[in-house]
């Protein structure tokens, strides 16, 4: 009888762990600002709504430091993102954008970047624009300049959910 109880408990634990994993994988909301703080009470970023695609690195850093509620989108392939990326950025590679764009919120600013400094981010922004996203900017100077300036980077891997 004791072996059956152990097996029962192990199966129960496995089912609970699987349920938790499936629940986490199905989440598409990104409740954090670019600075990683809870977005519930954070201000909107002061990005110009001027129809221009590019945004200056200094403005993005200012809004990042202020804890503004926007998404930093790393459009580089996953292996590049896994090496390092802007801290609290989400990875949605440019070549997966057409299939996964719905993972990004339409009601928040999305600032895409790559290392090119703009080729992959431009492609991602094009797809988002075609899908009806109106709050999209591209980090003009790109990731390499962000890193060169000593702005916050993360060397641990984290992908969009």
Residue 17: is its pLDDT beyond 60? no
84 falls within a domain: yes
98 falls within a domain: yes
For residues 154-160, average pLDDT: 67
pTM, entire model: 0.73
Sign of CA dihedral 109, 115, 117, 119: negative
80-91 pLDDT tens trace: 999 999 999 999
Between 60 and 27, name the one with better pLDDT. 60
Task: Name the β-bridge partners of 113.
Answer: 74
41 falls within a domain: yes
- Closest residue by Cα to residue 158 from 67, 85, 60, 70: 85
Residue 16: is its pLDDT beyond 70? no
pLDDT of residue 36: 56
10 falls within a domain: no
131 falls within a domain: yes
Domain that holds residue 111: 29-154
Residue 8: is its pLDDT beyond 60? no
pLDDT of residue 3: 75
24 falls within a domain: no
103-150 pLDDT tens trace: 999 999 999 999 987 999 999 999 999 999 999 999 999 999 999 999
Contacts of 109 (CB under 8 A, 6+ apart): 44, 45, 47, 70, 71, 135, 136, 137
DSSP 149: T
Contacts of 61 (CB under 8 A, 6+ apart): 146, 149, 151
DSSP 36: S
121 falls within a domain: yes
For residues 65-94, average pLDDT: 96
Share of the chain above pLDDT 70, in %: 73
For residues 66-72, average pLDDT: 96
CATH number for the domain that contains residue 73: 3.40.250.10
Total tally of structural domains belonging to the chain: 1
19 falls within a domain: no
């Amino acid at each position: 009888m004791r072996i059956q109880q152990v097996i029962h408990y192990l199966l129960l634990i496995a089912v609970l762990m699987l349920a938790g994993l499936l629940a986490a994988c199905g989440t598409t909301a990104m409740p954090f600002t670019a600075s990683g703080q809870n977005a519930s009470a954070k201000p909107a970023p002061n990005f110009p709504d001027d129809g221009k695609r590019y945004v200056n690195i200094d403005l993005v850093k200012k809004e990042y430091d202020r804890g503004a509620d926007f998404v930093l989108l790393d459009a580089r392939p996953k292996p590049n993102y896994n090496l390092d990326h802007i801290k609290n950025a989400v990875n949605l590679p440019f070549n997966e954008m057409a299939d996964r764009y719905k993972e990004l919120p339409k009601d928040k600013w999305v600032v895409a970047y790559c290392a090119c400094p703009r080729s992959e981010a431009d492609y991602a922004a094009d797809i988002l624009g075609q899908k009806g996203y109106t709050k999209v900017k591209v980090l003009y100077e790109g990731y390499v300049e962000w890193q060169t300036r000593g702005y916050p980077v993360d060397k641990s891997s984290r992908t969009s959910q």
